[in-house]
Structures are given as structure tokens and as C-alpha cells.
Structure 1
Amino acid sequence: MIRLIDIPAAALVGAVVFALGGTAVSRVQTPTSDAELRLAYAGLPATWPRPDLGEGAVFTEFGPLPPPLAPADNPTTPAKAALGERLFNDPRLSHSGQIACASCHAAELGFADGLRTSFGHDRQRGRRNSISVATSAWMTPMFWDGRSGSLEDQSLHPLVDPVEMAGSLDAVVQRIAVDPAYAPAFAAAFGDDRINIDRIARALAAFQRTLKPRRSPWSRFIAGERNALDAQELRGLHLFRTRGGCANCHNGPALSDGRFHNLGLTYYGRKYEDLGRYEVTGEAADVGRFRTPSLLGVGRTGPYMHNGLFPHLDGVVNFYNAGGAHPRRRPDQADDPLFPSTDPLLEPRQLTREERQAIVAFLGTL
């Protein structure tokens, strides 16, 4: 039998955070059977078996998504969100008049696009996978490289990116302003019918804050319906938190630590090189680092990784089970200060085939 140890009352509310140098309460003995596992996960997340964390990991306890928060200067209203949805689906925001935000973030594809990397203006192919925006309200900073600190700022980047929508902000305003049907929508959202790029960005951000992952076995489970996961999926959750090492980076309500990690997929000095966060900060330590994506709805948003390398979740799990990628320096890179180092949180996990399948099954519940 499993004995639940005493848990401080304060630990039963809110998130429990584990950081470098901190300690965690050992919550339950290691479950050895499906029945014991079911019992171990019967209570609130704060009573679940503690996660196995590597040095440097920052962990926030799992939980339901909280209500999204809007900035004080851009409160979400039904009228503003409706305007944002209309703009999100309007191809006139692009130079060609043929590409909308929804072209790369389709509702029926989990607000991603199902492609390895997205196509944009003049059928140009981007270098990064389209991130689902279904959890944008809970994810900051924005983009794989974290170059935007808010949804308002993020909303404008694709409009002017020459590979994506290839437009200009002035042209976007002009195209929307000449459509008389937009005037009453802006008036309803902002109090008058003035149209400018700031209001377009605010409306787009407001719409995205109304999005959320669809109801799933995981959302029911984390809300208290403990039979929503079957035995294999529950075993996958336990492995995800413990020996699989997944919870080092994928934790909290959105299953993302919001931080940047190098998985060894930078292709440094090669054809498909992508320097990631370094392109924003200029810091050598950020070469090859990318933001941890949310895993909510992950079963619908493949391919995976910043470059869409893996078409299926089993490939992703196999990659992490092997400890990620660890490129070696060529002789001409021996003294290169920018040569990236794979995050030490990635290490071989030695999971069996059945254990890896259990993690994939759990990911399918999200």
C-alpha cells in the first residue's frame, strides 16, 4: 500500500515551485502497481509523487489553466475579441492579400498548420515550425526565440516579415480602413471608429487571449476527474514526471517552464543552422536555445521541434530518451566561443519500449 505523508496546507493551494538549490517534500512512496499508481495520483497535484528534477530545472506544479490575464491597457471584451477574430482571418493583412494569420494557425489543426515549416509570401518556406497559438494567453515571451514580450507586439511581427506576410504596417491600416464594414466593429471595440495599427494589434491580441486548448482527457483529469486517464496513460504521466525527465522543462498549468533550452538541434555551421535565442540577445550562452513550447493539445500540432524535425510524438520521445543531440566540434571549431552546448538536463533515460509508449499515450491525452 502507498502511505500519503502529511502535506503542509499551504502546499495544497497554488503552484509548488522547485528551483536550483531548493528542496522538495517527498510526497509518496514509489508506486509499483497500477492500483498503487492510481492511489498516488488520486489527490491534488501537490500530493502526487515528486518530480525527478535535474540540476538547474525550475518546476511549477501541474494544474488547470487559470483564467487568462489581459494587460490593464488592453482589457478583453467580446467586441474587441470579435474584431480580432475577423482580422485574424483577413488575408488583407498580407502584401499579397492571400495570407491571413489563420493560414498558419488554423483552428482545425490546433491553431498550427500541420507543416514541418510554414509557407509564406510567394510560397517562401520559413525556417521554423508554426507554434500553436491556442495557449498564447499563458505563454510569454512569444515566438521560439522569445523576441516579443506581449501578444500585442507579437501580432505585428508576421505582418511585416518578408518571408511570412511581407506587408507594411501603413498598408495594413489603409486596407482595413477603406472597408466600411470595419468602422462599426472598431467603434464597438474601442469607442470610436478610428483605425490604426495599435488598435489592430490590440484586437488581434484580445482574440488570441480567448483561445484555449479544447477539452481533453487531461483537462478533465487535472480538474479532478481521476478516471479520465486509463492505466497506460497514467503510467505515462508518472514517467513524464519522474524517470522520463520530461517535467524538467514541461511543467506548470501550460506544461512549459517558459524558459529557453538547447536540445542540440542547432545545426551550427551547417546548412540548416538556426541560432535561436542568440539572434535576440547576442549572448553566446543563448546559441541554439529555443523556448519550451506548451504541450497542451500537442497530439494535434505535429510536426514537432522548432524546425519540425519529428513528424510523430514517438520520434520526439525516442529523441529525449536518447538524451537529445550532442554535436561535436570540428577541428576548425575548436576555439569557437559560439559553439553551442546541449542543455545538461538532457541525458539518456533508458526507458523501455513499453515505457516510451506510455509517455506517448499520456501526451495524446493533452
Structure 2
Amino acid sequence: MLKTLFLGLTLGGLALSANACDEQAADYTTCIAQQYRQPVAQWPAPQVDADVQWQEMAALPAHAPAPPENTFSEAKAGLGKKLFNDPKLSRSGQIACASCHEADMAFADGRRVSFGHDRQSGRRNAPSLVMSGYSPALFWDGRGGNLEQQAMHPIVDPVEMAFDIPQLLQRLNTDSAYREEFAQVFGPGPITTQQTAQALATFQRTLVSATRNTAFEQLLRGRPQRMSDEQLYGLHLFRTKARCMNCHFGPALSDEQFHNVGLSYYGRKYEDLGRYEVTRKPEDVGAFRTPSLRLVMKTAPWMHNGLFVNMEGTLAFYNMGMPRPRPSAQQVNDPLFPRTSDRLKALNMDKDELRALRSFLDTL
């Protein structure tokens, strides 16, 4: 019994708060890292604002949760993958979903903004689709809804794939291979918009598998061997001093909310009113959906406009609290003048802390 009590006290010690480590000690980083080599339930609690309904970080399933009206099957995912990679879904027959969401770039495309029909430039950066199955409001401004609701938007967008639904369905229904594959998944009958959207959505829910071999995902699965002390210290900062976990938490590392990070460029080149274009609410001017940070180092350039090309510079902006634009004399009484979110505060992290945080992001 004494042995059991001793073991319990020892394991309990591993779950102590970060205050158990002496910040002035030479082994402070090692002490912090050791706490994050334990199961997630024993990690120090994050420091988040009182009104944040956060969720603990967690390992990902084989695919994102599917709604009851579109249950998951491997056959449906396979059909969706074929559609996702097929330029037949565009008017020109030259642009596929995969043209702007490339597998080796975490299903983003590495450009500031994507090229679409007739080489037109899009308005916003193409986001990674890896965690798209977790979002109820896709696109940077949330107008897309869930994966099923969002699926047809790029196909009919005149700047992206520039097609229309009747012609798309005609093209699919006159393709004998597609008719056979749709029938195998959905049963006999003509190919419909709903079936096409459901197949595309089902495939995109499998994209979480792209994270499976990351050091962070392995850590969450109880295998911390690939994480260095510095990276684990960066994880600790992410959850505490850096304030990242106010918006980036849960399995997908996103709160799926909309925040103004000071980059609306209101009244200037690159102006983008963000969520306001959907809701018409003044408080939504310049607010954009929180992106997942899974595989973040593969998704540069960052932000809705793709203007941030260097992670060290991006972290420097967050360290200073992000921009807080002030209205000009002509804008003082403008009810739409955007306000940077109060979630963002000056962090005062030193160069070693910024390096550790940057090192942690490499593991995601």
C-alpha cells in the first residue's frame, strides 16, 4: 500500500503546474518539457481568458466527423477524391479543386492568392483544407457553411472554376465511368448536385490523415520522442504567455470564430471587410475565421491576404499585439471603422521564447 501511495504521489508530481519549475534555474526548459512528455491529461492547464470556451488539444481520428445525412464510406471518399482532382469540374476543363489545394502543401497552394479561370487572381489566400471537416462556416468570411454546403461555391465562382451546375451535371452524367461510380455509391439514377457535394465533402474529411506523422500528432498519441525540449517549451508558451490557445485549441487548433487581427487595410489598398460582407454587422468589419494551425509551416504565405511570408516576422507582429489602426480625421465618426480584437495583446516575449514558439510550430 505504501508503494501504491508513493507511485500515486510521484505521478501526481508530474502533473504539477508549470509553477513547479524554477524560471531562474538552468534546467527550467527541461523541467517544463518533462511535464509535456506526460499524457495530455497531466499537462499544465493553459492560460486563457475567462470567457473562452476552450477545448484541450487532442489527437485526430481517421477522418473528421461526418453528419448523419452524409455518412462516411471509403467508396464515397474515393469518388470524392477523383472529383477533387478532376478538371472536368471547371468550365475550361483545366482547373481542379486540387489546382488551389495541393496535397504536398497541406492542401493550400503556396501563392499569395490563387489563379482561377482565364488566369484571374482571387481575392484571398487559399486556406489549407486539412481541417475543413471541423468547420461549420468555411471560407475566410464563413459564408460557405459546412463542407456539403460549400462544395459548389468554387465551381460556380466566376473567378475560380467559372462553371454552372446544369452544365456540370450534364458533363458528369454523360461520362459512363462517373455514372457507374456514382451508382455504386449512391444507387441508380442520374448524378445530382447533392451527391457531388457529398462525395467531395467525404473526401475532404479524410484529409486529417495528412497530420498523422507529425511530431505533434505523435505527442498527442503518447509518443513524445520526436519533440525536443525547446519544442515542448514552445508548446508551453503557446498555451500560456503567447496567448495562442485563446483562439487555437481542440483537435483542429481553431475556435472556428471570427476575429479582427488588425489587417483589414480599411480605406487602403488590400482593403477587405471580412465577415462583415456576410453579416453586415459593423462589429464584424475586418474579422476573419481562425485558421487551423495543423501543418501551418506548409501553408505559407499566411493570413487571409497572403501578405505574411515569413514566420519569424509573423510572430513579431503577434508579439507586439498586432496592428491597431487609428482613424483619420475623415474616419473618426465612421461606424464601420474596424477595431482590432481585445484578444490580441503585447506579449513581451524575448528572442529565446520566440525561437521556442517558432520551433514548436515546426512540429504541427
**TM-score (norm: length of structure 1):** 0.90
Kindly provide the amino acid, as one letter, of the partner of residue 238 in structure 1.
H
Kindly provide the amino acid, as one letter, of the partner of residue 348 in structure 2.
Q
Say which of 255, 279, 282 aligns to 1:281. Answer: 279
Q: Equivalent residue for 2:290?
A: 292
Say which of 327, 333, 339 aligns to 2:325. Answer: 327
Q: Equivalent residue for 1:341?
A: 339
Q: Offset of 1:149 from its aligned partner?
A: 2.2
Query: What is the alpha-carbon distance in structure 2 between the residues aligned to residue 288 and residue 55 of structure 1?
Result: 24
Q: Offset of 1:28 from its aligned partner?
A: 4.4
Structure 1 residue ranges, 4+ long, deviating more than 6 angstroms after superposition:
none
Q: Decide which moves more: 49-58 or 231-240.
A: 49-58
Residues 1:107 and 2:103 are matched in the alignment: yes
Q: Offset of 1:4 from its aligned partner?
A: 4.5
Query: What is the alpha-carbon distance in structure 2 between the residues aligned to residue 264 and residue 5 of structure 1?
Result: 42
Q: Equivalent residue for 1:50?
A: 45
Query: What is the alpha-carbon distance in structure 2 between the residues aligned to residue 57 and residue 271 of structure 1?
Result: 33
Q: Equivalent residue for 2:259?
A: 261
Kindly provide the amino acid, as one letter, of the partner of residue 294 in structure 1.
S
How well do the aligned residues superpose, as a CA RMSD in angstroms?
Answer: 1.8
Kindly provide the amino acid, as one letter, of the partner of residue 167 in structure 1.
F
Kindly provide the amino acid, as one letter, of the partner of residue 58 in structure 1.
Q
Q: What percent of counterpart residues are identical?
A: 48
Q: Equivalent residue for 1:154?
A: 150
Q: Unaligned regions of 5+ residues in structure 2, if any?
A: 1-9
Query: What is the alpha-carbon distance in structure 1 between the residues aligned to residue 107 and residue 188 of structure 2?
Result: 31
Cα deviation 1:82-133 (Å, max 9, x = unaligned): 1111111111111111111000011121111010111111111111111111
Say which of 173, 185, 188 aligns to 2:184. Answer: 188
Asked if 2 retains the 8 angstrom alpha-carbon contact of 1:232 and 1:361, the reply is yes
1:308/1:30 CA distance change after superposition, 3 Å: farther
Say which of 130, 136, 143 aligns to 1:134. Answer: 130
Kindly provide the amino acid, as one letter, of the partner of residue 29 in structure 1.
N
Cα deviation 1:216-241 (Å, max 9, x = unaligned): 00011111112221011111111111
Kindly provide the amino acid, as one letter, of the partner of residue 203 in structure 1.
A
Aligned to 1:202, the other structure's residue is in SS state helix
Q: Unaligned regions of 5+ residues in structure 1, if any?
A: 8-25
Cα deviation 1:252-273 (Å, max 9, x = unaligned): 1111111111000001111211
Q: Equivalent residue for 2:55?
A: 60
Asked if 2 retains the 8 angstrom alpha-carbon contact of 1:55 and 1:345, the reply is no
**More helix per residue:** 2
Query: What is the alpha-carbon distance in structure 2 between the residues aligned to residue 46 and residue 54 of structure 1?
Result: 20
Query: What is the alpha-carbon distance in structure 2 between the residues aligned to residue 241 and residue 329 of structure 1?
Result: 33
Q: Offset of 1:55 from its aligned partner?
A: 5.3
Aligned to 1:181, the other structure's residue is in SS state helix
For 1:1-366, what aligned pairs fall within 5 Å after superposition?
4=12, 27-31=17-21, 32=23, 33-54=28-49, 56-66=51-61, 68-212=64-208, 213-214=210-211, 215-366=213-364
Tell me the matched-pair count.
347
Cα deviation 1:325-364 (Å, max 9, x = unaligned): 1111011111111111000111111111121111111001
Q: Equivalent residue for 1:13?
A: none
Cα deviation 1:8-52 (Å, max 9, x = unaligned): xxxxxxxxxxxxxxxxxx844253313311332233323322222
Query: What is the alpha-carbon distance in structure 2 between the residues aligned to residue 338 and residue 57 of structure 1?
Result: 26
1:303/1:54 CA distance change after superposition, 3 Å: same
Q: Decide which moves more: 297-306 or 33-42.
A: 33-42
Asked if 1 retains the 8 angstrom alpha-carbon contact of 2:116 and 2:160, the reply is yes
Query: What is the alpha-carbon distance in structure 2 between the residues aligned to residue 102 and residue 193 of structure 1?
Result: 28
Cα deviation 1:196-252 (Å, max 9, x = unaligned): 211111111111111113310001111111222101111111111111111111111
Query: What is the alpha-carbon distance in structure 2 between the residues aligned to residue 30 and residue 278 of structure 1?
Result: 45
